Structure 1
């Protein structure tokens, strides 16, 4: 096993049979020497479990923050985005399968230290750095070190995650994250077990932990797959749970599925499904519900929850109109909008810009 770019990890213990159990996520991989976990980037080397991809990435790109998606976290600003390889879930519909399902180290063709990442972000006027494309849970140590470097230079750290993580590493991780978008893939254990190879309950625990016990700004995304998780009943249950167990001000994004990876037999999600889901979620009490991956001006707009005036109009990832005061309040009625806002929006637009890391 190649141990270049490897670092020691803390979340594991030895079993009576001599195997080492990884305690980072609820998958609890049990490894003999030389074996990797399902995530691919953590493996046993001798008497410890190490992270084997520290400082390595499948590429770096500057995105609009709305693409994460985060609509209430410094709107309009650019975010330096990167991921590694592998994942700790096995979603049959994965939209980034070439990265997250990779078991080849040649996917990790770029490298960068935390300081180099921050230098590149600053040089490109980014407001934040995002751990995305695959789940930062599996590159826990690297993500935390990058987040620490961000904070030393006035940048924000953003986690795009499925929330499939154990309590102790979760607590350490979110001490360092300024915002998170958690992928709530469905609201049934059947879906998680059959289609994702995981469990729903740990994800709900993560959502409650982030919202109630951290200062991390939280938004949630659910990809709607025709015939799998798009029934009125499930959408209502999911929305009601967010409203009652978290808050009616947690933004929820319904996004459109396109056939990919091992679910090529399912049709793309119609716009009407997203619009219906948005209506149901709003009827259940959620104040900020968005649609994504398909053009939908109303579903891209942020409305004031008090006077229902449009406050942020968007075309996809581009801001068209801004009706917030410098204090982040509705210009019409004075209501304080939930989120993190600067006096004026960013003007990055919808660009996606691949970048090289400053050496």
Structure 2
């Protein structure tokens, strides 16, 4: 049960007191240790009266309907609309953050939209969305709000999708993913040096989250790696990453390799060339990954889905528009009958590449 202190501040469970008088947040492996009044790196968790509270419950940086492929998820209800929202702050410090105006915000005024979990679920239903995405910043830091919303969604038959870095501790991770139906996890690189120096985190907790989701939940899983020139694009690192994915997660987990653009504190790097994305995709396929894609660029061939058995085109994608569909009602290849891994409806959705902002008023959808 969520316990409110103020309308947008709630008590949390994952913390403990230290002998020196501080309290430690136990949501993520950062383990922020806070004096009275201090906030953690994520900014929305604070030591208030010697306990950790979340200070942005029910407040969002905005709501929009996106194509589900934008999350990106290519094997979970393709072509359908998804209601997306996030809060402010983040528990990592990625120098290359592509959403830094939201994730690095230290102004709660960024959170202008307000909506209760029930209202979000009802809005998704009213707008014809099959799912809700917890995205834009990491939903781990708005753990309680995301879980409550996912519970409200499940009651109405609406799916929940987490877009996360996977940087979370074991107990809150288990609580969180029991309410999720799909997840796209950012596997930002495959070296501890990159994680420590560029994200302020560590690689191993992310790998543990990936194995947990794949082997201990029914959550559909896809991975995304933002390819940054000179940082995580070496053939050796990509080979090691692909091999680890196949050995530890299996060949059916889709991998997305997305183009970087200079932003936040990494403006000295060039845009990712298409050749680097295609190289990463080819390395993944060579090592046994059955479904590998490029993102943030227009390459129809490398964005489409093919049968891993006969090589036939199963789902043609032109940006976010689906222009070919060769799966039967059971998600099998129409040409050879081989199963395509994923969660599919009998027919694809027709949402396409549209993006639509959704206004959530306190009167209509408020707390």
Structure 2 length as normaliser, TM-score? 0.97
1:60 is matched with which residue? 63
Moved more, 2-11 or 155-164: 2-11
1:335 and 2:335 aligned = no
> For residue 102 of structure 1, what is the aligned residue in structure 2?
105
- What SS does the aligned partner of 1:157 have? strand
Q: CA deviation at 1:336?
A: 1.2
Whole-angstrom CA distance in 1 between matches of 2:321 and 2:95: 31
Match of 2:174 in 1: 171
Measure how far apart 1:98 and its partner are.
0.1
Superposed displacement of residue 48, structure 1: 1.2
Query: Which residue, out of 245, 249, 267, partners 1:264?
Result: 267
How far apart are the structure 1 equivalents of 2:57 and 2:50?
19
Residues of 2 paired with 1:177 and 1:95: CA distance?
A: 24
Find 1:190's aligned residue among 184, 189, 193. Answer: 193
SS across alignment from 1:192: helix
- Which string of whole-angstrom CA distances, capped at 9 and with x for unpartnered residues, describes residues 36-91 of structure 1? 11001111110211010000000000000000000000000000000000000000
Summarize the alignment of residues 1-359 of structure 1 with structure 2, pairs less than 5 Å apart: 4-357=7-360, 358-359=364-365
Distance, in Å, in 2 between the alignment partners of 1:26 and 1:14 is 16
Q: Is the 8 A contact 2:82 2:130 kept in 1?
A: yes
**Distance between the aligned counterparts of 1:3 and 1:343, measured in 2?**
45
**DSSP-derived class of the 2:47 partner:** strand
1: CA distance between counterparts of 2:13 and 2:121? 25
Cα deviation per residue 1:110-140 (whole Å; 9 max; x = unaligned)?
1100111111111110000000000000000
**Could you tell me how far apart the structure 1 residues matched to 2:359 and 2:126 are?**
11
Q: Matched residue of 2:206: which SS?
A: helix
Instruction: Give unpaired runs (5+ residues) of structure 1.
Output: none
Q: Once the 2 structures are TM-superposed, how far is the Cα of residue 298 of structure 1 from its aligned partner? A: 1.3
**Aligned partners of 1:291, 1:26: CA distance in 2, in Å?**
30
- Structure 2 runs not aligned, ≥5 long: none
| SS of aligned partner of 2:301 | helix
- The secondary structure found in structure 2 opposite 1:159 is strand
SS at match of 1:80: strand
Kept after mapping to 1: 8 A contact 2:259/2:271? yes
Structure 1 stretches (4+) deviating beyond 6 angstroms?
none
TM-score w.r.t. the length of structure 1 is 0.99
Please give the alpha-carbon distance, in whole angstroms, between the structure 2 residues aligned to 1:317 and 1:208.
29
Count, aligned residues: 358
Partner SS state of residue 52, structure 2: strand
Q: Deviations over 1:171-217 (max 9, x none)?
A: 11000000000000000000001100000000000000000000000
